[in-house]
């Protein structure tokens, strides 16, 4: 069937699927994930359907983060509910990442769709799965867990008008002249019909278009161009430019690793960036149409809609020109890690905005909890309180652990003359509690960063090693606690990832940063705790390069303050 036939059928069939009375107690899930979409460059302001069907009908979790700002590691972490240091799929390609690493680590039998099928779900997926899911690997072995699938396959994943796709494991085909996101939209609506017809089981439908990712020629010498919008959207937003926030191409350099070396962009480069930005916004318009098609089909089946949670998010964020950076991701800056996350469905407050911190590692636990499936002990995340009921008893932790191993690949490298920046391995933690919002990082160069995100949301003033204060806390005391937290999180598993202070203070009397700031812990954190360090900028999780791996635990005898007073 051609795409136009599929679309025709899709619109003709927009009426309710006859005889579909879903008789299930578990809810359905529709999970829409774009690729490299920013929150901080305001892309969602240009998506009316995200506003109408998600922001107005559901809750926006404004402090949602990816835990690795790179597609493949982020997706594997999301699909397993595990931190990247535990999946050890940390890159997009060999030796540290890509689909073959996902297989090697045994996740093909142990990840979200397999678990959902075992819990009685029908599962469907269309779009990009992960990097390295390619012509040579997609049937070797096949990816498990999907009742219906239509995957974008490398090297055609990022070619907007000539995608390569494999439907239900059939030989991959190219679609010259057809628009990638439209193909994904047609496949998604088709699977939705299948799911509704198979009314004896609840369903999960994953929809992963590639917009607004760059058009990328994959392979050893990857080449990145601006994304290609659908022809019908090429004319939109002619005068829109990247928001000129205080951190856009600033006249001062950054303070750590290669950020210290990047020169200011010239006008040619700024124009190129603005054009890149417009193409991203244009490419997202077809994602809006995809959302409309899904909502239209669900609206025709109100009992199904009534029992379905819909999520809109992306795999990682994106920057263009902030801190002088050329287009790309992979950094620990807020643009790359704080990303769109919307959810709507039964019990989810409408038109609400939440600032409870959450991350991609929390998504599978969230789905499990909504479906009444017992949480696995090896989850490194915890359910996000998305419903009114869950919000009423919210105990979610206040931190998000962000990690990265490798280089920063420069996109749009025609203008920047450099295809990558080395020394991009770092450990980072965001802590968002009552009265404080902090970003703390240790780079593989052993440089440190500390930003007060309340007063410096654009991350222009590194407070590390200054005589400043945050929330009236001296920087040295604060840094010492954040170091202890980061050290606890860097190799955490399971509950330690969500309740790290319990590991540092086994008595359970310290539950958050504020508790840990008690003066009686000064000596413990400032003198006895080990620092987070690196001995080299390894490209993967090579433990011998990562300094201390476990924190020292608190001992009463270190309470100098109480002894002396």
Ligand X SMILES: *[C@@H]1O[C@H](CO)[C@@H](O)[C@H](O)[C@H]1NC(C)=O
For the beta carbon of residue 5, count every other beta carbon within 10 angstroms: 10
Residue 565 makes contact with ligand X by CB under 6 A: no
Q: How many residues of this chain bind ligand X (CB under 6 A)?
A: 36
Residue 264 makes contact with ligand X by CB under 6 A: no
User: Which of 1, 353, 454, 543 touches ligand X by CB under 6 A?
Assistant: 543
Length of the chain: 565
Residue 268 makes contact with ligand X by CB under 6 A: yes
- The Cα 8–Cα 364 span in angstroms is 35
Residue 95 makes contact with ligand X by CB under 6 A: yes
Q: Do the beta carbons of residue 494 and residue 378 sit within 8 Å? A: yes
Q: Which is nearer to ligand X, 177 or 435 (CB)?
A: 177
Q: Do the beta carbons of residue 281 and residue 275 sit within 8 Å? A: no
Query: Residue 128's beta-bridge partner residues?
Result: 152
Binding string to ligand X for residues 162 to 181, with x set by CB under 6 A, is what? x-----------x-x-----
Residue 259 makes contact with ligand X by CB under 6 A: no
- SS3 state at 309: strand
User: Which of 46, 61, 65, 96 touches ligand X by CB under 6 A?
Assistant: 96
Residues 346-365 that bind ligand X (CB under 6 A): none
Distance set, CA 131 to CA 181, 226, 419 (Å): 18, 19, 19
Residue 416 makes contact with ligand X by CB under 6 A: yes
Binding string to ligand X for residues 14 to 53, with x set by CB under 6 A, is what? -------x-x------------------------------
Residue 423 makes contact with ligand X by CB under 6 A: yes
Nearest to 275 by CA among 151, 405, 414: 414
Q: Which is nearer to ligand X, 312 or 443 (CB)?
A: 443
Q: Do the beta carbons of residue 497 and residue 482 sit within 8 Å? A: no
- The Cα 551–Cα 179 span in angstroms is 51
Tokens describing residue 308: 């379905």
User: Which of 537, 539, 554, 558 touches ligand X by CB under 6 A?
Assistant: 537
Q: Which of the ranges 302-310, 359-367, 389-397, 504-512 carries the binding residues for ligand X, by CB under 6 A?
A: 302-310
Binding string to ligand X for residues 127 to 156, with x set by CB under 6 A, is what? --------------------x---------
Q: Which residues of 160-196 are buried (b: 16+ CB within 10 A; e: fewer)?
A: beebbbbeeeeebeebeebbbbbbbbbbbbbbbbbbb
User: Which of 269, 335, 437, 522 touches ligand X by CB under 6 A?
Assistant: 269
Q: Which residues of 297-324 are buried (b: 16+ CB within 10 A; e: fewer)?
A: bbebbeebbebbbbbbbbbbbbbbbbbb
- The Cα 236–Cα 345 span in angstroms is 32
Q: Which is nearer to ligand X, 37 or 88 (CB)?
A: 88
User: Which of 289, 540, 547, 548 touches ligand X by CB under 6 A?
Assistant: 540
Secondary structure letter of residue 14 according to DSSP: T
- The Cα 370–Cα 31 span in angstroms is 14
Q: Which of the ranges 41-49, 69-77, 415-423, 452-460 carries the binding residues for ligand X, by CB under 6 A?
A: 415-423
Which residues form the interface with ligand X (CB under 6 A)? 21, 23, 88, 95-96, 117, 122, 147, 162, 174, 176, 198, 238-239, 251, 258, 266-269, 302-303, 306, 415-417, 422-423, 445, 466-467, 537, 540-543
């Amino acid at each position: 069937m051609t795409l136009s036939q599929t679309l025709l059928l899709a619109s003709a069939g927009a009426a309710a699927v006859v005889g579909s009375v879903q008789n299930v107690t578990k809810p359905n899930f529709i999970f829409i994930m774009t690729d490299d979409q920013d929150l901080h460059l305001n892309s969602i302001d240009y998506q009316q359907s995200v506003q109408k069907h998600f922001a107005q009908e559901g809750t926006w979790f404004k402090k949602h983060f990816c835990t690795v700002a790179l597609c493949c590691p982020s997706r594997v972490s999301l699909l397993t509910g595990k931190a990247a240091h535990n999946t050890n799929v940390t890159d997009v390609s060999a030796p540290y990442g890509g689909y073959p690493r996902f297989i090697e680590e045994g996740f093909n039998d142990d990840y979200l769709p397999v678990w959902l099928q075992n819990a009685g779900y029908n599962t469907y997926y269309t779009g990009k799965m992960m990097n390295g899911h390619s012509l040579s690997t997609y049937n070797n072995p096949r990816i498990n867990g999907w009742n219906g699938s239509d995957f974008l396959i490398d090297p055609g994943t990022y070619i907007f008008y000539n995608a390569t796709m494999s439907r239900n494991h059939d030989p991959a085909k190219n679609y010259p002249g057809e628009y990638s996101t439209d193909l994904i939209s047609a496949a998604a609506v088709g699977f939705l019909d299948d799911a509704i017809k198979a009314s004896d089981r609840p369903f999960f439908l994953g929809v992963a278009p590639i917009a607004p990712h760059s058009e990328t020629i994959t392979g050893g010498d990857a080449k990145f161009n601006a994304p290609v919008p659908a022809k019908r959207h090429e004319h939109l937003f002619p005068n829109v430019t990247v928001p000129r926030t205080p951190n856009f191409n600033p006249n001062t350099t950054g303070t750590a690793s290669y950020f210290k070396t990047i020169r200011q962009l010239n006008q040619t480069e700024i124009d190129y960036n603005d054009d890149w930005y417009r193409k991203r916004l244009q490419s997202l318009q077809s994602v809006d149409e995809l959302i409309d098609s899904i909502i239209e089909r669900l609206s025709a089946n109100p009992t199904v809609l009534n029992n379905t949670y819909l999520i809109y998010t992306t795999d990682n964020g994106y920057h263009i020109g902030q801190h002088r950076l050329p287009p790309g991701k992979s950094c620990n800056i807020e643009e790359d890690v704080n990303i769109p996350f919307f959810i709507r469905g039964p019990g989810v407050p409408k038109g609400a905005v939440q600032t409870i911190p959450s991350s991609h590692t929390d998504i599978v636990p969230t789905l499990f909890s909504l479906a009444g499936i017992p949480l696995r002990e090896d989850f490194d995340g915890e359910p996000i309180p998305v419903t009114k009921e869950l919000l009423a008893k919210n105990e979610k932790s206040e931190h998000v652990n962000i990690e990265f191993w490798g280089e920063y690949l420069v996109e749009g490298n025609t203008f920047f003359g450099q295809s990558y920046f080395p020394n991009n391995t770092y450990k980072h933690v965001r802590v968002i509690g009552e009265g404080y919002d902090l970003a703390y990082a240790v780079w593989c160069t052993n440089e440190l960063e500390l930003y007060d995100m309340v007063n410096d949301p654009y991350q222009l003033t590194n407070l590390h090693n200054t005589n400043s204060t945050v929330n009236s806390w001296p920087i040295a005391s604060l840094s010492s606690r954040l170091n202890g937290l980061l050290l606890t999180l860097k190799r955490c598993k399971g509950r330690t990832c969500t309740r790290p202070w319990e590991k540092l203070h086994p008595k359970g009397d310290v539950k958050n940063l504020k508790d840990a700031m008690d003066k009686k812990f000064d000596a413990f954190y400032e003198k006895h705790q080990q620092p987070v360090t690196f001995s080299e900028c390894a490209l993967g999780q090579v433990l011998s390069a990562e300094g201390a791996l476990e924190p020292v635990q608190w001992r009463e005898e270190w309470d100098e303050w109480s002894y002396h007073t």
